[in-house]
Amino acid sequence: MFSDQQLSRIEELKKRYQHPRSVVLEALWMWQDEHGWISEEGMKTVADALGIPPHDVFGVVSFYTMFNRKPVGRHKIEVCTNVSCMLRNSDRILKHIQDRLHVGVGETTPDGRFTLVEAECLGSCGTAPMMQVGDRYHEDLDPQKVDAILEGLK
Amino acid sequence: MTMEPLLLPNIPDLHKLEVYEANGGYQMLRRALEMKPEDVTAEVKKSNLRGRGGACFPTGLKWTFMPKSTDKPKYICVNGDESEPGTFKDRQIFEFNPHLLIEGALIAAYAMGVSVVYIYIRGEYIAWIRMLQQAVDDAYAKGYVGQKILETGFSTEIYLHRGAGAYICGEESSLMNSLEGERGYPRVKPPFPAQFGLWGCPTTINNVETIANVPLILRMGAEAYSKIGAPKHPGPILVGVSGHVNKPGVYEMPTGVLLTDIIHKHAGGVPGNKRIKAVIPGGSSTMILRGEQIEGVAMDFESLKAAGSSVGTAGLIVMDEDTDLIRVITRITAFYHHESCGQCTPCREGTGWMHKILTRFMNHEATMKDLDLLLDVANNIEGNTICALGDAAAWPVQSMIKQFRGEFEQRVMRSAEAPVASHAAV
C-alpha cells in the first residue's frame, strides 16, 4: 500500500505528463525506497495508483537493472567493472570485497547486511575504480578504502 | 591551445543561484526573451554548434526541424542519461554549473516555442539529480522558470525525470518511450521526434552539454563562438580522459586539440611513461585506434573521421602497452550484450554470439574460423537494427579486428599449441 502522502505525491507528479503512465518509474522508486525491492504487491500497487495494467508495470520493472526483483541486503554494493574501471584494476576491488564478505557476485551475506553485484559503467571513469553503495558513489578506491567504507555500513 | 573554461569556469560555488547571477547568469535568458524566437535559433545555427551527445549533429539545424505552427504542445528532452562507457562529463555540469544548463534549456524552449522541458537523468545519478533539482527549485523561486518568466508572456516548466538503469535510454527515441512509462525500446525512424516525439507531439532531444553551450553562444555572439577551436565543430568541449593516464578526469578545452596533447599535457601522460597501445577516442562505441595512429589526430569531428573513428562523447580511454586488448573487447561486448533491448534479432542474438566467440579467445579455445565468424557476426549487426546500439556494438569489434588482428591470431596460435593443457585443467 502507498501512504496518503505517497499517493498525493503521485497525483502531483501525474500533472507533469500527458499520461499517468509516465510516473511509473518514480512510483516504483517510491516503493523500492521503502521496501528494498519490487514485489508483486509493489507492482500491483503501482499499477493501481496509475490506472494501468500490472503486467505493464512488470514489463517496465524487468527492463531496468536498478529495480530489485528479489530482496537484497541492507546495502547493495555495485562494483563497476566496465572498461575504464577494468583498466584501473577493478578486479582487485571486486575480489577484495568477495574475500572480505565471503560472497560471490549476485549473493547476499547471511546476515542480510550486504548484496554484491557487478555494475556497468556508472560514469566515474575519471575516478576509477569505483563502487556505488545505495545512493552513494565511492571513488578512487583501494582495498584499504573499501575496508573503511564497509566498516561504516551497519 | 588554451582557453578560459566556459562550461566549467573556476568560480567557487557557481552552482548557487546568487553566485551564478553575480557572474552574469540568466542575463542571456533576458536577452533571448527580447529577441524573436527564430532569431535565437538562427544564432545557434550560425554558431555551428554540434551536439555533444555522440552524433555531432548540428544543433541549430535540429531546432529548425520543429514545426512553427502546430496545435500540439511541443517538448524538449534534455538527455542526461550519460551511460556510454568512458563518459562522465554531464555530471560535472549538474554538479558545478547546473544553472548554465537550466538557462540553456529555457533559451532553447523559447526558441522552439516549447512549454515543457524534461531533463532525463540516469537513475544511478541520484546524488546529481538532487543537486540539479535544488538548482531548478531555486530558479523557479526567482521566476526564471514557470509561468510568465521574467514577467514576459513566455512560460515553460522544467521537470527532472529519473531513469532506472538502462544504457539504451540514452538513445533519443528510447528515452522518449522511457519517459512515457514504457519499456525503453527505440522507435523506428521516420517519423522523427520533431514530427512525432513524446506522446506523438513535436519534440527535440539535446544532450546536457549541448544545451549548456547555448547561453555561451548568446553571450559571445555566434560569430565569436564559431571561431573557438575546429571551424567545422567549434566551441568548448568537455573531454573525459580515463584508463592509463596519470591524471584522469574531465578537461574543458576548445575542440581541435591533439589527442596526444590531451593525454600528455592535460592528463599527465601514461604512468611509467609506457607506450600507448590503443586509444578509444569518444566512448566505448567509437572505433579503436592504434597508439601510433593518433599522432596529429585532434578531438574534432573532421579529424577523427579522417582517422577512421569519431568524437562520440569525447570520452577518451587510454590503454598502455601491457593492456590485454582481447579482454578489453570481450568486456565491451559483454556490455552491449547486457544492454541490448532485445527488439532486433541481429543485435539481441549477435551481441551474445560475439561475446561467446570472444570468450573462446579469452580462454585460448578459439580457431581462425572463429575470427572470421566474429567479423561476420559484427558485419551482420551493423546497419541492420532499429537504433544505433547495433552499430555501437559492432564497431568496437570490427575496429579491434582491423587494428589488432595479430592479438587475435596470437590467441588462436597459442590455443592450437596448448589445447590439451587447458582442457586438462578443467
Rg of chain B over Cα atoms, rounded to whole angstroms, equals 23
CB atoms within 10 A of CB B308: 15
pLDDT tens digit sequence for A108-132:
999 999 999 999 999 999 999 999 9
pLDDT of residue B425: 43
pLDDT band, residue B416 (cuts 50/70/90): low
Comparing alpha-carbon positions, the chain B residue that sits nearest to A68 is: B164
CB–CB contact A67 B250 (8 Å): no
Per-residue pLDDT at B3: 81
The reported pLDDT for the residue numbered B418 is: 52
Residue pLDDT, tens place only, B45-89: 999 999 999 999 999 999 999 999 899 999 999 999 999 999 999
User: For residue A47, is it within any domain?
Assistant: yes
Q: What CATH code is carried by the domain that includes residue A143?
A: 3.40.30.10
pLDDT in tens, B110-130: 999 999 999 999 999 999 999
Q: What is the pLDDT of residue B198?
A: 98
ipTM for this model = 0.98
Are residue B311 and residue B223 in the same domain, yes or no?
no
Rounded Cα distance between A152 and A138, Å, is: 13
- Number of domains forming the structure of chain B: 3
If asked whether residues A84 and A52 sit together in one domain, one would say no
CA distance B224 to chain A (A): 31
Mark which of B286, B320, B354 sits at the end of a domain: B320
Angle among Cα B414, B415, B420 to the nearest 5 degrees reads 120
Domain presence at residue A146:
yes
| Residue pair B193/B173 in contact by the 8 Å Cβ criterion | yes
pLDDT of residue B423: 45
Residue % of chain A over a pLDDT of 70: 100
Helix (H) or strand (E) holding B19: helix B17-22
| Average pLDDT of chain B, as a whole number | 96
Give the pTM: 0.96
- Residues B281 and B306 both lie in one domain: yes
Q: Does B123 lie at the interface with A, CB-CB under 8 angstroms? A: yes
What CATH code is carried by the domain that includes residue B275? 3.10.20.600
Residue B112: alpha-carbon gap to chain centroid: 23
Same-domain status, B100 and B189: yes
Its domain, for residue B410, covers 325-424
Say whether both B171 and B136 belong to one domain: yes
CB-closest option in B85, B123, B166 to A63: B166
Domain that holds residue A128: 75-151
pLDDT at position B2 is 64
Q: Does B104 touch chain A (CB under 8 A)?
A: no
Any A CB within 8 A of B359 CB = no
Cis bond upstream, residue A110 (ω within 30): no
On whether both A44 and A96 belong to a single domain, the answer is no
d(CA B68, CA B393): 37
Contacts of B272 in chain A (CB under 8 A): none
> What is the structure's pLDDT at B242?
98
Task: Name the maximum alpha-carbon separation found in chain B.
Answer: 80
Indicate whether B273 belongs to any domain. yes
* Beta carbon pairs, A and B, within 8 Å: 145
Whether residue B100 is found in the same domain as residue B165: yes
| pLDDT over threshold 80, residue A83 | yes
Interface test with B, best of A63, A78, A81, A131 (most B CBs within 10 A): A63
B354 lies in the same domain as B407? yes
My answer on whether B92 and B188 are in the same domain is: yes
On whether both A83 and A145 belong to a single domain, the answer is yes
Residue A68 domain-assigned (yes or no): no
User: Which residues of A make CB contacts under 8 Å with B?
Assistant: 16-26, 28-29, 50, 52, 59-60, 63-67, 81-84, 86-88, 119-128, 132, 135-137
pLDDT digits (tens, 9 = 90+) for B207-222: 999 999 999 999 999 9
The secondary element (H helix, E strand) that includes residue B161 is strand B157-162
CATH number (domain holding residue B80): 3.40.50.11540
Does residue B302 carry a pLDDT above 50? Answer: yes
Instruction: Answer yes or no: are the C-beta atoms of B161 and B121 closer than 8 Å.
Output: yes
CB B105 within 8 A of CB B28: no
Domain count, chain A: 2
Task: Examine residue B373 and state whether it is found in any structural domain, yes or no.
Answer: yes
Q: Tell me, yes or no, whether A135 lies in a domain.
A: yes
